[in-house]
Amino acid sequence: MGLNACGIKSKYERQAFHASYVSLARRKMGLNACGIKSKHDSDAFEGVLVHMSKMLEKIRARARSLQKTIVFPEGEEPRTVQAAAVLRKEELAQPLLLGSPGKIREVAFETGTDLVGIQMVDPRESPKAGEYAAALCEIRKAKGMTEAEAAKLVSDPMYYGIMMVKMDEADGLVSGAVHTTGDMLRPALQIIKTRPGIKVVSSSFLMDCPNRDLGENGLLVYADCVVIPCPTAEELANIAVSAADTARTLCGIEEPRVAFLSFSTKGSAKHELVSKVQQAVAMAHELAPELLLDGEMQFDAALVPEVAAAKAPGSPVAGRANVLIFPDLQTGNIGYKITQRIGGAECFAVLQGLAKPCNDLSRGCSVEDIVNTAVFTAVQAQA
Ligand SMILES: CC(C)(COP(=O)(O)OP(=O)(O)OC[C@H]1O[C@@H](n2cnc3c(N)ncnc32)[C@H](O)[C@@H]1OP(=O)(O)O)[C@@H](O)C(=O)NCCC(=O)NCCS
């Protein structure tokens, strides 16, 4: 998190911001105010902040140079309105709020937010609604969608926003401060669909760990932790290729090293679940022959050089993986939360594999989370 991102200028404001940021980060790391006891702990903690802030600053600088248009279907939602103002003020992106302009102005007034430079579109009044409805009807006609159904759907800001992205009138979409993951994912999957060469949409979590010996100077990419409950071997291979792409394009990791995780390392156990991961590795090799990937392997074999030397000698990835592919959503979702809550990692989530970027927020998100997600979306739009 860069200090400038919130437009905080004075020394007093910077100190106050830092204090609140430290408190937020402590909460995210599961630490209370007394959770950091020794000077060593405290230094390590500050180290996380500095590292994370550097990574985010790099991503923000790229977003700033791109000036992508990001549409927010939840444009009347107070945190979203405030995030749009930060994006505009810091020139990180061109935010576009969907909703009633009257209602958006009311929210801006109540939150003391400046709307200068922020576009607003009311889907119910939009002259584009007819065009979008016709296009939506065409896209979904094989699924039996009628013109009347399409017209009704595009009056919904979520569908209108997805259609804006589909029709190239926005570069990406951010939603989820109010809606559930499924509410946003379903229209994105049905309308935006997957990018060429990729069969499934999935997610990556960027895990910024206090232990700098792990992954890429402490940064690990975890996939999939949000979307596909029980992936097939082919889907796992697709998730891996997408995660490597996220590592490269979003995190700036020049050499993604992808480990397919399991409870077995290199055939140490025999089970159908292990065989599925082994098949996924073979498929991923075919999909992306240039990619450094290996598996199946246990979590410690993926990350710890000594364990890798004993269990997977000669592996190009074991002991130094920076992208971890979990075998299913249960392990992925639990794994990221353990890393966050017990390991003290900061984490950021993005969707991957869509033809154009759409990203989901947690309903408990802060203004800063929305700004960060919009910035990630802008950079993904360029990739
Ligand atoms: C992603 C998800 C919302 C899909 O919802 P769903 O109602 O099951 O969707 P359906 O199976 O009816 O599929 C809808 C469309 O999306 C497509 N689709 C579904 N999952 C997809 C994926 N991962 N990638 C690409 N397309 C996908 C389907 O092929 C279908 O397309 P079509 O209508 O053109 O034929 C569902 O898999 C899900 O709920 N995942 C878990 C999300 C979750 O709870 N995460 C918790 C952690 S926060």
Reported as a pLDDT band with limits 50, 70 and 90, residue 18 is very low
pLDDT value of residue 56? 87
Q: What is the pLDDT of residue 242?
A: 98
Whether 224 and 304 map to the same domain: the answer is yes
Q: Are 160 and 154 in contact (CB under 8 A)?
A: yes
Read off the pLDDT of residues 200-245 as tens digits, 9 standing for 90 and up.
Answer: 999 999 999 999 999 999 999 999 999 999 999 999 999 999 999 9
Cα 191 to ligand 1 centre (Å): 12
Mean pLDDT across 84-99: 97
Ligand 1, atom 9, lies closest to the CA of: 186
Identify the band that residue 31 occupies on the pLDDT scale cut at 50, 70 and 90: very low
How confident is the model over 289-333, as pLDDT tens digits? 999 999 999 999 999 999 999 999 999 999 999 999 999 999 999
Least confident of 117-121, 137-141, 179-183, 286-290: 179-183
- More reliable by pLDDT, 239 or 20: 239
Same domain, 90 and 189: yes
Mutate to test the pocket of ligand 1, among 186, 191, 199, 242 (most ligand atoms within 8 A of CB): 186
Residue range 34-89, pLDDT digits in tens: 233 344 444 554 555 556 677 788 899 999 999 999 999 999 999 999 999 999 99
Tell the burial category of 207 from Cβ atoms under 10 Å away from its Cβ (0-12, 13-18, 19+). Answer: buried
Task: Based on the fold, state whether residues 187 and 211 are members of the same structural domain.
Answer: no
183 shares a domain with 226: no
- Alpha carbon nearest to ligand 1 atom 46, residue: 226
Give the structural domain span for 218: 202-350
Q: The CATH number of the domain where 206 resides is what?
A: 3.40.50.10750
Lowest-confidence segment of 164-168, 171-175, 212-216 by average pLDDT: 212-216
Q: What is the pLDDT of residue 213?
A: 93
What's the structural domain count of the chain? Answer: 2
Residues 322 and 344 occupy one common structural domain: yes
Ligand 1 centroid vs 189 CA: distance in angstroms?
A: 7
Residue 359, pLDDT > 60, answer yes
- Half-sphere exposure of residue 36: CA atoms within 13 angstroms, side-chain side: 17
Among 185, 192, 198, 333, which residue has the most ligand 1 atoms within 8 Å of its CB, making it the best to mutate? 185
Mean pLDDT of the chain: 88
Ligand 1 contacts (CB < 6 A) are: 143, 181-182, 185-186, 189-190, 194, 200-201, 226-229, 333
Greatest alpha-carbon pair distance for the chain in Å reads 65
Whether 12 has a pLDDT exceeding 60, the answer reads no
- What is the structure's pLDDT at 383? 74
Closest CA to 374 of 84, 131, 121: 84
Q: Are 189 and 258 within one domain?
A: no
What is the C-alpha to C-alpha distance for residues 71 and 84, in angstroms, rounded to an integer? 10
pLDDT value, residue 50? 56
Same domain, yes or no, for 208 and 148? Answer: no
- 343 and 223, same structural domain? yes
CA of 69 to the centre of ligand 1 (A): 26
Same domain, 184 and 211: no
Over residues 18-24, mean pLDDT: 39
The predicted model scores a pTM of: 0.86
pLDDT value at residue 376: 97
